Chains A and B, each alone.
Chain A
Amino acid sequence: GESVGLHLPTLSVQEGDNSIINCAYSNSASDYFIWYKQESGKGPQFIIDIRSNMDKRQGQRVTVLLNKTVKHLSLQIAATQPGDSAVYFCAENYAGNMLTFGGGTRLMVKP
């Protein structure tokens, strides 16, 4: 899920399938991570967060996995629905600094 400037990476999935959105973060000292969902014309919406003392956290239909060894974060969405179509951003935070946002991945759900 890395940004390539104007062309967002896109993940296209069939309705009902599971989606996995990936994010590589930059700082090995980051200790707090957030996933946001942004629908067209709206502001980013908090989905789920995880701290570095955890490897996995589950919410309603969503799971975040953290692999600190390779600095990788993923968001899994179960039974993807048309309403899940949006751009998904990961964000990282390390001590004393602001959130740093990734470029985003566009999720498209085919009916």
Chain B
Amino acid sequence: NAGVTQTPKFQVLKTGQSMTLQCAQDMNHNSMYWYRQDPGMGLRLIYYSASEGTTDKGEVPNGYNVSRLNKREFSLRLESAAPSQTSVYFCASSSLRRETQYFGPGTRLLVL
């Protein structure tokens, strides 16, 4: 039982490049989330998926898109990376939207 897994662990991009961050959970959870965490800051919600087939914007959605591929997988895409998107990205999942969220290990992204 791996919980929440994320790939890649690290990534360096040039401004304007695109990439997709992958997330998968094996806990049969309905809801999944993408957060970013900047140095010394709390977690800010980018997008979430309350259930398979639905996605909604969070606090900081600009510059990102998401896909809930199936119940297990939720991906985050940066179409044209900007230095302001340098951050650590965490995926999380929960059984229901209002319940405890379990986090992956994070993806560290540097945009030059």
By the criterion CB–CB under 8 Å, are B100 and A44 in contact?
no
Interface residues on A, range: 20 to 34
Given contacts A32-B98, A98-B97, contact A6 B42 (CB under 8 A): no
Within 8 A of A (CB), among B97-112: 97-106
The reply to whether B41 and A99 contact each other, CB–CB distance below 8 Å, is no
List, in ascending order, chain A residues with CB within 8 A of B33's CB. 98
Among A43, A96, A101, A104, max chain B CB count under 10 A is at: A43
Other 13 A-B pairs with CB < 8 A, given A7-B40, A96-B98: A3-B40, A42-B106, A43-B92, A43-B103, A43-B104, A44-B43, A46-B100, A89-B43, A95-B98, A98-B33, A101-B42, A103-B40, A103-B41
Partner-A contacts on B (CB < 8 A): 4, 33, 39-43, 45, 48, 58, 90, 92, 97-106
